[in-house]
Amino acid sequence: MFKAAAFFIAIVLMVVYGFKIMAAMDKEDKLASAKRGITTVLITLVFIKIIDYVFFIAATPEFGERAGDLIIEIATVL
């Protein structure tokens, strides 16, 4: 329930920031603020998915192996 609400709010915020970007095409301050808002929403969505995946693998019997694989994948990406 909480995850669904978070994704719904994120979608609404993306639409709001999209309208702010369209309205502020010539105003640099408002455009930078809207870009920062979109970046924040996207980073938040990524963290929500990572936490969701950790809870998913914690529910499986091979938690240690899958957690190790996740850490190796994250280290490879970074």
**Rounded-to-integer distance, Cα 69 and Cα 65, Å:** 6
Residues 6+ apart with CB under 8 A from 17: 34, 37, 38, 41
Token pair 């899958």 is found at 66
Give this prediction's pTM.
0.58
**Rounded-to-integer distance, Cα 33 and Cα 48, Å:** 23
pLDDT digits (tens, 9 = 90+) for 33-72: 777 878 888 888 888 888 888 788 778 777 778 778 888 8
E strand or H helix at 55: helix 28-58
